[in-house]
Amino acid sequence: MTHPDGAYLPSIKERSPSVDAERLRNSVADWSAALAAVSDLPSAVRQDVVDALELAQRFNAEVVRPWALQIDRQAMDDPAYIPRELIRQAGEWGLFTLWLPVLFGGKGWNYLSLYAFLEEVASACAGVSAVIGVHYMGQGALMASWNLRLAAKISAEVCAGERRGEPCLMSLALNEPLAGTDTTDTQLLAQANLVTQAVAQPDGSYILRGRKNYISNGHVSTWHMVVAYEDLTQAADTMVVLAVRTDMPGVRVGEMMDKMGQRACVASELIFEDVHVPADCVAIDRQRAKGLKRPYREVAQTLLDYISACTRSGVGAFAAGVARGSYEAARDYAARKVLPGGRLIEQQWAQTTLAEMNKNAILARQAYLESALANGLGGLFRMMFFRPLYWADQLAPASVWRFAARRVLQSPDATQWFQKRFLDAQPKEWQNLISGLASLAKFASADLAMSNAGLALELTGADGLRHEIGIEKRLRDAKLLQIHEGTDQINRVNLFKCRLRPDQGVRVFMREDEALALPDPAMNWLSAPQSDWWRVADQFAREQLPGLSFQSALDHMHGLGWANVCGESSVGTQASSLDALYQVLEALSAVDASMAAAVYGSAAAHLALRHSDGGADQLQLRRELAGEWLAWPAFHGLHDQLWPAVDAQGYLRGQVDMLMLGGYARWAVLPVQGRDQLMHLAVVDLTHPAVIRGERLLTLGLSSCSINDVELGGVPCEIIKGALTPALFRRLSGLLAPAAMAMLCGVSRASLQQALAHASSRQQGGGNLLGWGEVRRLLSAMQERLSVMQGALQAAMSGALPADAAQFAALQVGAQACELTVQGVQLMGGDGYRSGSAQGQRMKDARQLQCLQGGLALRRQHLLSRD
């Protein structure tokens, strides 16, 4: 039996392994880098990690935790805000030189401890961790070229800046406006739409033209490691890495991207207009690699693998921190939260949820540590872990290293030796190992971080959606981790390419539309009968709503009768069915879920009054309120919170959290505890002097819905006769379940429509995105979810589902909508992650709409009861 040349043979009995393959196998690094590191790495590495963790914990306590939410809020209010004071303090702590080798003037901590530090800081704030980590990603890109003279020059500036109290940061400028993931692999470069060109000059310098976008730390960095190309049509063969200083003539820092999360770490556009980059700032190019035996394309791929192996495992560390931070925040919340039945953490479902989150955090850490250890064994860091050099770096006086720096680092021979050693002689087996494990660490950890952020929101319910709690921020932060340093999809393909394909003849990064002659996909979503209600709502939402303020939109909708869509003639309003409500909500939410939620909340209050056992005595009250906007708790599960109570004098005291339209409506309908200790409905005048309306809350989604906390300090109220029993509340929830489903379907329909339009128009990789199989798979998954959701909605609207079944269906529709809208952001990449992106807003709105009928986990528990 024969095999193609270069075939990967998994059998341990491979007949003729190469020397490098034998070394890799004997080290067991391809089975477990962690196990190989036990014997291969210096023993003192462990102590460096301990010291880094202790430093990170102190930095979190003194700097990060007090500032994280404040920076996030300030950046929301002012998209041009840059947290310079935070960066200055990080410099005072020595965090930008701590992991530079002593040879270059730094403190010489090993890079494995850097990953541990980044995870610890990310557990408090991923954005702050990214500010520090991205600086070392720039340093790693410089070191990957092994240009020692240039590394010494820039490192000296970094150290001098720290001594002056003026941090000198570095960034990595790889991403391009129309070529994001295409820039990460030489095979993809052949079909990339590139714009950044470096024109060689006779003296070895370059003229740099073009632009880079989504460059982390771009606005605050002094040096940018720019990856450019001499010939844009032969990019893989002409790649150039340049060190560009921000103050070089022609360098312009353009737009600062307004991101959804990780706002402490700014993302920038860099513009290069005929920038003259001197020869001593060229890290590597074809001319400087002439002494290497490998074809320059292979040298370029080795360089990219070195860089991505560092940056992607760094993203894994960020993600592990977010996963652990979500777990710790949820655990602390559950320990504090008191429900009518006791503390939340005493409930078994909460305990098992926390156990699942802890598992995810540990697995994320193991994933990135495996990659980081592989980098130390056979990647960019292996020279730093070479025992004689490691101990010399740790023990030799700084004066010795300064002497060596003057003699060795300035020598072209030293640079040539290192480049031959690490770029020319890098074993392909080790290159595949470090690149594949880095991709695995990146997408596995990012997915686990997103999972934990979602579980934290499920456990905390409505409270977790509030900005001041800090849990919703972790969801926004985690989503970016699935996008940058190559999307999760491209990293999965890279893992297959490097570690899983059986032989080199298996093609990767192939456009499937050309190979398989696939037609462009179309969206076929099930549609409810489009009544006059739906058509009017759809026309209003598309043509008028986008240009209206919140107040004007409510006035227009009041004129349309939507303050009480499901009216009844007995109270003097137009009689309409619940189907009218559902169709209005579906059409509105496809454009603005906040406005749909306002209609939903007021309708819920009117329905609660209609179905209460108030009798004829309350009929006049219902007539007076029939056409009014009514406030209603945005998350109104009876078990979600301790409700206000009526005191002995008949006045209402307590607090209502997250009252929808609480800052706009005059009247509110609230569940309250009566003097008989039973639950009742009460109508409250919110203009009463004893009512204190808090400021509009900043929540994850539904940003325009005027959600407020309201404090009731002895307020007269109208108690609706009859107890608000769990059975009655479940009946009301059953009527409203299709309404929540309708809004989730509208948001999801719009998400899929925009994703499909983006994939059709976005040109990348030799054609539009529809040519890539993974993009088509994402669209297919979104279509599948939407079809299931629409089917459930139609069943509920037709009466085929009883009330309890409709509520269970609403749980499923909510879960599907959350996944669908996350996929919509993923498909659009950085464009979908912008703060003002409609796609990103839908992802946030879906999470909040999912909780409209109460905390998700609590609803699952109480739907099983038979009250």
Q: Which residue has the tokens 């699952």?
A: 860
- What pLDDT score does 20 carry? 66
Residue 614 has pLDDT above 90, yes or no: no
Tens digits of per-residue pLDDT, 463-488?
A: 899 999 999 999 999 999 999 898 99
Tens digits of per-residue pLDDT, 653-665?
A: 999 989 999 999 9
Residue 356 has pLDDT above 90, yes or no: yes
C-alpha 374/C-alpha 430 separation (Å) is 9
Residue 233 C-beta-side C-alpha neighbours within 13 Å: 0
Q: Which of 184-198, 428-442, 525-539, 728-742 has the lowest mean pLDDT?
A: 525-539
Q: Higher pLDDT residue, 701 or 574?
A: 701
Q: Residue 618's pLDDT band (boundaries 50, 70, 90)?
A: confident
Per the structure block, which two tokens stand in for 525? 């979503």
For every residue of 575-639, DSSP letters joined together read ---HHHHHHHHHHHHTT-HHHHHHHHHHHHHHHHHHHSS--GGGHHHHHHHTTS-EEEESS--TT
Q: Which of 157-161, 503-507, 827-831 has the lowest mean pLDDT?
A: 503-507
Indicate the average pLDDT of the chain.
88
C-alpha 181/C-alpha 438 separation (Å) is 15
Q: Residue 129's pLDDT band (boundaries 50, 70, 90)?
A: very high
Element (H, E) at 692: strand 691-693
Residue 2 has pLDDT above 80, yes or no: no
- Name the pairing type of β-strands 667-673 and 630-633: parallel
- What pLDDT score does 209 carry? 97
Residue 732 has pLDDT above 80, yes or no: yes
- What pLDDT score does 15 carry? 38
Share of the chain above pLDDT 90, in %: 63
Q: How many Cβ atoms from other residues are within 10 Å of residue 215's Cβ? A: 26
Q: Which residue has the tokens 């072209």?
A: 412
- What pLDDT score does 788 carry? 93
Element (H, E) at 71: helix 65-77
Tens digits of per-residue pLDDT, 27-80?
A: 677 777 777 777 677 777 888 889 999 999 999 999 999 999 999 999 999 999
| Identity of residue 473 | K
Residue 256, φ and ψ in degrees, nearest 5: -100, 120
- What pLDDT score does 25 carry? 59
C-alpha 306/C-alpha 314 separation (Å) is 13
Tens digits of per-residue pLDDT, 239-293?
A: 999 999 999 999 999 999 999 999 999 999 999 999 999 999 999 999 999 889 9
Cβ–Cβ < 8 Å for 408, 64: no
- What pLDDT score does 402 carry? 67
* Rounded (5°) CA angle 276-278-284: 110
Mean pLDDT over 673-697 rounds to 91
Mean pLDDT over 172-195 rounds to 90
392-401 burial: b if 16+ Cβ within 10 Å, else e: ebeeeeeeeb
Choose the most confident range, by mean pLDDT, from 118-127, 702-711, 855-864: 118-127
Residue 371, SS3 per DSSP: helix
Element (H, E) at 48: helix 45-59
For every residue of 757-815, DSSP letters joined together read HHHHH-B-SSSBGGGSHHHHHHHHHHHHHHHHHHHHHHHHHTT-S-HHHHHHHHHHHHH
Tens digits of per-residue pLDDT, 750-781?
A: 999 999 999 999 888 778 888 888 899 999 99
C-alpha 540/C-alpha 76 separation (Å) is 29
Residue 9 has pLDDT above 70, yes or no: no
- What pLDDT score does 405 carry? 64
Residue 853, φ and ψ in degrees, nearest 5: -105, 20
Which residues does 508 contact at the CB level (< 8 Å), separation at least 6?
A: 187, 493, 496, 497, 501
Q: Residue 23's pLDDT band (boundaries 50, 70, 90)?
A: low
| Positions of E strands within 103-180 | 169-173
- What pLDDT score does 33 carry? 78
Single out the residue of 67, 103, 100 nearest to residue 168, CA to CA: 100
Q: Higher pLDDT residue, 576 or 674?
A: 674
Residue 530 has pLDDT above 80, yes or no: no
Which residues does 501 contact at the CB level (< 8 Å), separation at least 6?
A: 8, 508
C-alpha 360/C-alpha 370 separation (Å) is 16
- What pLDDT score does 190 carry? 87
C-alpha 761/C-alpha 769 separation (Å) is 8
Tens digits of per-residue pLDDT, 294-338?
A: 999 999 999 999 999 999 999 999 999 999 999 999 999 999 988
Residue 711, SS3 per DSSP: strand
C-alpha 508/C-alpha 769 separation (Å) is 16
Tens digits of per-residue pLDDT, 388-411?
A: 777 777 777 767 766 766 677 778
Q: Residue 22's pLDDT band (boundaries 50, 70, 90)?
A: low
Tens digits of per-residue pLDDT, 774-816?
A: 899 999 999 999 999 999 999 998 888 887 888 889 999 999 9
